[in-house]
Structure 1
Amino acid sequence: MTTTTQVQPVVRQLFDTPQASAYLGGTPSPNTLAQWRSQGGRGPEFVKLGKLVRYERATLDAWLAANTHTGTGNTGAQSY
Structure 2
Amino acid sequence: MLDAGPDRRDRAPPVRRRVHPGRAGPLLHRIGWSVQVPSRKATQRDEEKIAAWRDEQWPVVKRRRRTWAPGSVSRTRPARG
Shorter-chain TM band: under 0.3
Larger Rg belongs to = 2
Q: If the length of structure 2 is used for normalisation, what is the TM-score?
A: 0.20
Which structure is higher in RCO with an 8 Å CA cutoff and minimum separation 6? 1
Q: If the length of structure 1 is used for normalisation, what is the TM-score?
A: 0.20
Whose strand fraction is larger, Structure 1's or Structure 2's? 1
